[in-house]
Amino acid sequence: MKESVIKNLKILREKGPLVQSITNYVVMNNTANALLAIGASPIMAHAKLEMADMVKIVNALVVNIGTLDEFWVDSMLLAAKEANERNTPWVLDPVGAGATPYRNETLTRLLTFKPTIIRGNASEIMALAKANVQTKGVDSTHSSDEALAYGKQLSKETSAVVCISGAVDYVIDGDKLTKIKNGHELMGKVTGMGCTATALVAAFAGIEPDPYRATVAGMTTLGLAGEIAARKAEGPGTLQLYLYDALYHLKESEVKQWAKVEESHD
């Protein structure tokens, strides 16, 4: 699996996939910069009048409901529908799932367009798996371990690859499971780090036909870049900036040496 990450990082930088994001206002700048740093080409576009034309030219799509509203949800549904019809890979980030009925209803509608990959924190994945879990805002109050069973159920129900991010990231594809133990706790003190993970996963999905491998590649490269950035960061502010530097410079040899990617066979 580690070899697959290395190979995909190389391919991503050669191909520079075009990734469309319909995402939240808070993280647009961060995720665009992360995509540029890793070697992808970001575009943010949500107008209904250009949705079909835009989805047609991109290699992958992100739908992130963080700052959803009545106007943007229509755009999200339109884009998801278009991506599904074209077999363009699309990644759902269910920010704040479980926090309000409106988020849950919106997610139910989005699921009908069969996301290729779903990435959330433990609370969000549990809520999405209809676990009736009480979510505290957008930060997770559950561990990834607790959410694992729910994640497996969600992957089977939706046929999507499901990623539960946290201290350990779980990537689930039906009965398959990969654990990634990279990353640094300070990353949780920077807003939108989960959204950045989703964007990177989409970038890899834009060049790697197997969404399971694409997800592992995205989570591993972000985790590694976070670790490298944390070595010199003095807090969450500097961490965020050094992270882009680290993504930009991430070497295949560093992935080989430091990636902690384990396929599980339980």
Q: Which parts are annotated binding residues for substrate? A: 44, 192
Alpha helices in the chain (DSSP H): 2-15, 28-38, 51-57, 70-86, 101-111, 122-128, 144-158, 193-205, 211-232, 236-249, 252-258
124 vs 109: CA distance, rounded Å: 16
If the CB atoms of residues 181 and 249 are measured against its own copies, the closer one turns out to be 249
Q: Is 134 helix (H, G, I), strand (E, B) or coil?
A: coil
| Least distance CB 209 / its own copies (angstroms) | 21
Among 81, 103, 142, 152, binds its own copies (CB under 8 A): 103
**Binding residue count for its own copies, defined by CB under 8 A:** 62
Burial of 266 (0-12, 13-18, 19+ CB in 10 A): exposed
| 194 in contact with its own copies (CB under 8 A) | no
- If one asks whether residue 69 binds its own copies (CB under 8 A), the answer comes out as yes
Angle in degrees, CA 144, 237, 197, rounded to 5: 35
Using the rule CB under 8 A, is 68 a contact of its own copies? yes
Interface with its own copies (CB under 8 A), residue from 57, 85, 149, 264: 57
**Gap between the Cα atoms of 129 and 157, Å rounded:** 9
191 binds its own copies per the rule CB under 8 A: yes
Written as six digits, the tokens of 154 are: 């969600």
Residues numbered 148 to 187 that lie near its own copies (CB under 8 A) are none
Give the residues lining the site for its own copies (CB under 8 A). 18, 24-30, 32-33, 36-37, 41-50, 53-54, 57-58, 66-71, 75, 96, 99-103, 136-139, 189-192, 233-238, 240-246, 248-249
